[in-house]
Structure 1
Amino acid sequence: MIKNLSYKGVGIGFLLTLLALLAVFQNNVWRLYQAITLYDADKISHNFLNMYKMFDVSKIDASTTAYYFPVDYQALPDDFTLNDETIAIPDFLSQSATHGMMVIKEGEIVYEQYFLDDSQDKQHISFSVAKSFVSALFGIAIAEGHIQSIEQSVTDYVPELVGSGYDGVRIKDVLQMSSGVKFNEDYADFNSDINRFSRAIAFGTSLDNFTASLQREREPGTYHHYVSIDTQVLGMILVRATGMSLSEYLGQKIWQPMGMQDPAYWMIDGNGMELALGGLNITLRDYAKFAWLYLHQGQWLNQRGQLLQIVPQQWVIDSVTPDAPHLMPGENNPQSGSSYGYGYQWWIPLGAEDEFMAQGIYGQFIYIDPSNDLVIVKNSANSRYTDKSQQWPAKHLAMFRAISQHFSQTTLP
């Protein structure tokens, strides 16, 4: 009788274990399917507004003292011009599958519209716009003494990367997307490194282990090659240096003091490590607050009228100032894979006087124009974004500049 009960116990235990394994397998298969179909035309809009519900995330609570920009809605210009082609702005917003766009001029929201089921209270995936948030955290961590210098080696903080392509690479070269690591960032290529990375996320496998698997292609600090995993390395350094998760550090150093009005969600792997390179989910108005912070070189006037230096001023200046030939904007720069310039996780567009940008795949943008005291943020779900013949980035930049010029000629009441 005792043996029979024991046998039944073993059988029940085995069955429960089997069911648990099947549940995990089913969940992983479902997440893999979601990752593979993430950008499909009939699913992309819903997916980009629900990423934090589809994958594992950590939550960053809204500020207990939320800040709200005053509102004075005005009309956008009718159109913009690129290469002698005049493009109507309403048409372009539709063609680029815009979810939301906001313009802030002189501290007031002068334009705010949502499309395709987006709304003020919906969090939207950042993709690579998150890189600029990581850069801000890095500047704060240096000011607080957690990180000694960007001249140090990556492996001074992350010894797990010894033997990888990041072994001995300066932190500064990683910040400037000049690590020398071999990486294929082509989203249109199913077998590219970035898409392999996406599938790793779907299975919840270690992002740190994926990063450690990459190898060197060229000498660090000599060529600007956009490698998203460089930002993942920055995230690894921050976690080890601060002793906090990226979500905790962002919440404590930026979300709370800036009065972010909505919670944010940061995608994580099975070990709780954030997808530093692009996993933030934030509402449009909180994206705009971050843009406004950088417009004012890291200073923030909070709801109590206190002027806070959230991000060190010199860090912001250095972040948007290319300081080597391979980082300078220009067509056909033989030392760069882009015509844009690059700083510490921020883009400097062609022909910029003082403009700079954060950009994310499929149409996520933060555009900052200090001379006109204006920022623009835009979220999109453009399934055609990888079609280079459409010149999506160039069209967006031309539109942003036309909007900025329009409002620079408009006297606000």
Structure 2
Amino acid sequence: MRRFGKWLGRLLLALVLAAVVVGLWKREEITRLLAVNSLFSAEKIVSNFSHMDAAFLTTPVPRGNGPTTPLDYGPETTLPSQVNQWITDRTVTALVVLKDGDIVYENYFQGTGPDDLRISWSVAKSYLSALVGILLDEGKIASLDDPVTQYAPQLKGSAYDGATLRNVLQMSSGVTFDEDYLDKNSDINRMGRILALGGKMDDFTADLTERFAEPGQQWQYVSIDTHVIGMVVRGATGRSIADLLSEKIIVPLGLERSPYYVTDGVGTAFVLGGLNLTTRDYARFAQMFAQGGEWQGQQIVPAAWVASSTVASAPTAPGKIGYGYQWWIPQGAAPGEYMARGVYGQYLYIDTARNVVIATNAADRKFREPGVSQRNIDIFRLIAENL
């Protein structure tokens, strides 16, 4: 019995030591997983959205060594009184308003500041769209109607086999993907755990096998479509998204700070929502689009792509919000009125006719409540009309 007791003690000690070793070995993964599980908690969400590099693997998007291009300050504007309540209700963290290219309002809230690198969420999709337009113009991508498998052969046999680049740009792939952020078992949250644990986004995407419709027949917002766009871009160029975005867009814009992407375990950029910039730098990108893709005398994004990507072309339901190539077109939009939109209240709003650009970040945990999205649009329109 004494011998058995010694053996049992040694076994328990060995198990404890093994647990400690595994815990140390997987410490980073466990830390990231815990961070993901509390990412949107009320007490942490504001700080988390300005410090995503503390929770995820990341890769820099270098701004280069050139000077920061100016965003001049025009006469400071007093915004309509309704905006103040909206800022409180929507837990806005930053609001930058440009008129004729000049900053006329800038403010930060919830303890944040102008140097914070804020998570884009789905605003990042519009950056990738701009990159596609550049590569089409350069001939690196031949046509929007090329099948995605031509550039991303890993997708052969997946739910994306048969979809074109146009289909995924318009969110009309027909691929089944549950995007309920409030359901821990949804596809979007399973994907988040893949990122946290250092998995591979390409493998996750290629493993999707179900469709709810044939490609091109029906619109449904499916964020994983944007990852497929990234696979196409990488396959067409043999380069990473971070490098391409840096060279083609970020360096020419002359940003204030180098952005970064959240990545998966092999360094692949989380293109559907992982870009992090200052709010003023988001505004620079939006102002460049408001100017037809031109910035400081350089045509960064082809003007034809700016025009075609920001009009409603996807098969959305009649009378509802429209969608272009990774840009949103509000219901009843005037010509040249469009926006980039991310969960929890991230927006780039562009009113080309009035030459107004609005960049805003938020940590709005009630962003999915009925009427919130339209209220945001109404506020942007109210601001633009009163400048």
**TM-score, with structure 1 as normaliser:** 0.86
Deviations along 1:62-105, one digit per CA (max 9) or x if unpaired, are: 342211211125233334xxxxxxxx211210111111000000
Equivalenced residue count is: 369
- Quote the residue 1:320 is aligned against: 310
One-letter amino acid matched to 2:304: Q
One-letter amino acid matched to 2:323: Y
Q: CA RMSD in A?
A: 1.7
Contact map agreement 1:164 1:214 (CA 8 A) in 2: yes
Q: CA separation in 2, counterparts of 1:120 and 1:43?
A: 19
Among 233, 238, 247, the alignment partner of 1:238 is 233
After superposition, residues 9-408 of structure 1 pair within 5 angstroms as 21-63=22-64, 64-79=66-81, 88-215=82-209, 216-301=211-296, 307-323=297-313, 326-327=315-316, 330-331=318-319, 339-354=320-335, 355-386=337-368, 388-389=369-370, 391-407=371-387
User: Percent sequence identity over matched residues?
Assistant: 41
One-letter amino acid matched to 2:332: G
One-letter amino acid matched to 2:312: P
- Quote the residue 1:83 is aligned against: none
Contact map agreement 1:98 1:381 (CA 8 A) in 2: yes
Q: CA separation in 2, counterparts of 1:349 and 1:192?
A: 27
Contact map agreement 2:31 2:55 (CA 8 A) in 1: no
Q: CA separation in 2, counterparts of 1:345 and 1:233?
A: 13
Q: CA separation in 2, counterparts of 1:17 and 1:134?
A: 44
Q: CA separation in 1, counterparts of 2:376 and 2:341?
A: 11
Shift of the alpha carbon at 1:204? 1.3
Q: CA separation in 2, counterparts of 1:204 and 1:232?
A: 16
One-letter amino acid matched to 2:219: H
Contact map agreement 2:162 2:215 (CA 8 A) in 1: no
Deviation above 6 Å: which 4+ runs of structure 1? 16-20
One-letter amino acid matched to 2:298: L
Shift of the alpha carbon at 1:54? 2.1
Q: CA separation in 1, counterparts of 2:77 and 2:256?
A: 25
Shift of the alpha carbon at 1:384? 2.0
Tell me the SS of whatever aligns to 2:192: helix
Q: CA separation in 2, counterparts of 1:24 and 1:60?
A: 29
Q: CA separation in 1, counterparts of 2:382 and 2:189?
A: 34
Q: CA separation in 2, counterparts of 1:78 and 1:380?
A: 19
Shift of the alpha carbon at 1:176? 0.2
One-letter amino acid matched to 1:296: Q
Tell me the SS of whatever aligns to 1:101: strand
Instruction: Tell me: CA distance 1:32–1:374, structure 2 relative to 1, closer, same or farther (3 Å).
Output: same
Q: CA separation in 2, counterparts of 1:168 and 1:221?
A: 10
One-letter amino acid matched to 2:316: L
Tell me the SS of whatever aligns to 1:327: coil
Unaligned runs of 5+ in 1: 1-15, 80-87, 302-306, 332-338, 408-413
Shift of the alpha carbon at 1:23? 2.6
- Quote the residue 2:10 is aligned against: none
**TM-score, with structure 2 as normaliser:** 0.92
Tell me the SS of whatever aligns to 2:221: coil
Instruction: Tell me: CA distance 1:161–1:385, structure 2 relative to 1, closer, same or farther (3 Å).
Output: same
Q: CA separation in 1, counterparts of 2:119 and 2:21?
A: 30
Shift of the alpha carbon at 1:274? 0.5
Moved more, 70-79 or 290-299: 70-79
Q: CA separation in 2, counterparts of 1:257 and 1:316?
A: 17
- Quote the residue 1:4 is aligned against: none
Tell me the SS of whatever aligns to 2:359: strand
Contact map agreement 1:73 1:112 (CA 8 A) in 2: no
Shift of the alpha carbon at 1:58? 0.6
- Quote the residue 1:336 is aligned against: none
- Quote the residue 1:12 is aligned against: none
Contact map agreement 2:120 2:274 (CA 8 A) in 1: yes
